[in-house]
Amino acid sequence: MEVMPIRSTLRPADEQLIGAAEALRGGKLVGLPTETVYGIAASLAQPAGLQALKETLKIQNHPAWVIHVSSADRISDVVSHVPPLARRLARRLWPGPLSLQLPLEPADVERLVQLTGRQTTAETMVDGCVTFRCTESAITRQIIDLAGELVTIVGAAGNELVDSVENLPPVISRQLSLAVAGPPPRYKNLSTLVRVTGNHLDILREGAIAQRVIRRMEDMVIVFVCSGNTCRSPMAAGLALQIIAEKLKIPADELPSRHIVVRSAGVHAASGMPAATEAVNVLVAMGANIQKHRSAPLTDDLLRRADMIFTMTQAHREEIISRMPTAREKTFTLDPDGDIEDPIGQGEQVYRKTAQRLEKLIRNRVVEMEL
């Protein structure tokens, strides 16, 4: 199996970054900042560097090297299939103090062997898994990217948290080819370690990110938005639940166990209003049930949590982006070719045509989703 080299996607900022990357490729040790600890880095492709790291930090047991990546996309340098749940966590919590542990398939193991060697692969894997980190430190991420090889970083003083170059023990600093300064760590404890296997998540170590935050980030949240949240968006949400369940070949009520949440809301909605009678009747005929729906206003919290937001009109989209500019990249008009007009007060026949249009559009969208 041919393994392509890891290529840099960033441009060097100054000579120090280039020097640090060259030192790593040369099997040297480099001091690098992270948001949890000041660490010592070595290239996993250079046995001399790893041996120096073991000797410097007196690592005697299984090292369980953590692969530090410059972005979430670099996980695919090793892992051929990253579970959607892992992608969601990485997208929401990286860069940051999350260590993400993923199982390797046999082809992934061979790829890692090609990149690092058989012994280093064995020292990196734990129970068939490999752990990845993406630090908040921009300078560290850039050096990792420039190195063009898989890099590991270990706390500079074992169980003692060293927070800066200045506080490095002299016996350790003397072993470094280069020590890069950075801001002090934002956190006073280790990263949170999470293992993702398929759709299942285990928190192996609670650290800088609390367990409740991790659990809140598990779900894939899809939101449909209209004005009053009594006609178009509840019909869209009811149909989406049905269509997604069909795609996954599971009952709709099992979607939460797959960490898939479908919500609807209105940019000008009052709370607690039932869906329009015509909307309920039309969806019953189409095999979906929104009888228990109650309207809800669109909140900032829901906008932040959402992975995808589908609006009924361009005006709805513009209003959302004006309210929360960071939502631009995940907010779309459900129909890219035009607005879906409000059927309110126009009779069941118009509701039926609206629902049929919604169903077709949602099926097209679901095909594109990584569920």
The residues annotated with a catalytic role in the active site are 226, 232, 342
Going by C-alpha positions, the residue among 300, 334, 301 that lies closest to residue 316 is: 334
Instruction: Kindly report the three-state secondary structure assignment for every residue of 128-196.
Output: CEEEEEECCCHHHHHHHHHHCCCEEEEECECCECCCCHHHCCHHHHCCCCEECCCCCCCCCCCCEEEEE
> Given phi > 0 = left and psi -120 to 50 = alpha, else beta, which region is 297?
beta
**Tokens linked to 338:** 């035009």
Residue 350, CA distances (Å) to 231, 237, 273, 345 in order: 11, 18, 21, 9
Q: Can you read off the two tokens belonging to residue 227?
A: 């004005």
Task: Give the integer Cα–Cα distance in Å for 217 and 4.
Answer: 33
The conformation of residue 7, written as its DSSP 8-state character, comes to: P
Token representation of residue 273: 């209003």
Q: What is the largest CA-CA distance in the chain?
A: 81
In whole angstroms, give the CA distance from residue 295 to residue 230. Answer: 6
